[in-house]
Amino acid sequence: MQNNDWPLWEIFIRSKRGLDHKHVGSLHAADARTAIENARDVYTRRMEGVSIWVVESKNIHASNPEEAGDLFDPATDKAYRHPTFYDLPDDLKNM
């Protein structure tokens, strides 16, 4: 069956006090420009943001949940990777 729907886009919004764009959801749009306009209308009605990124969903590649064990488990017993084993000089502030 032919799919006549507009493609799906993932929407990222940066809030006034945030430095990063956060994923807020997805919507349909004909192209990037209308995706931004739709995002403005759907996701920023209550002053949520000051900047919008849109990425067509098909361009996002995800890790496979079945491989989660191989990917993430080996990190669990390597506490030495956390920078908590250093003595900081007293003069050093803001660390």
Partner 1 sequence: MLAYVLHLADNALVAGHRNSEWTGHGPILEQDIALSNIALDLVGQARNLYQYAATIANDGSTEDSFAYLRDAREYKNCLLVEQPNGDWAQTITRQYFFSAFQQLYYAALKGSADKTLASIADKSLKEVHYHNKWSAEWIIRLGDGTEESHRRMNLAVNKLYQYTGELFEAAHYESELVKENIAVDLRTIKEDYYENINKVISTASLPLPGNTFMQTGGKTGLHTEHLGYLLAEMQFLQRAYPNANW
Residues that bind partner 1 in the complex, under the rule CB under 8 A: 6, 27-30, 33-34, 37-38, 41-42, 45
Nearer to partner 1, 23 or 28 (CB): 28
* CB 24, min distance to partner 1, A: 14
Which of helix, strand or coil describes residue 64?
coil
Q: What's the closest the beta carbon of residue 47 comes to partner 1, in angstroms?
A: 13
- Whichever of 18 and 28 has its CB closer to partner 1, that residue is 28
Comparison of 22 and 33: residue with beta carbon closer to partner 1: 33
**Alpha-carbon distance 29 to 25, whole Å?**
13
Q: Which amino acid type is present at position 95?
A: M
Q: Exposed, middle or buried: residue 29 (CB in 10 Å: 0-12, 13-18, 19+)? A: buried
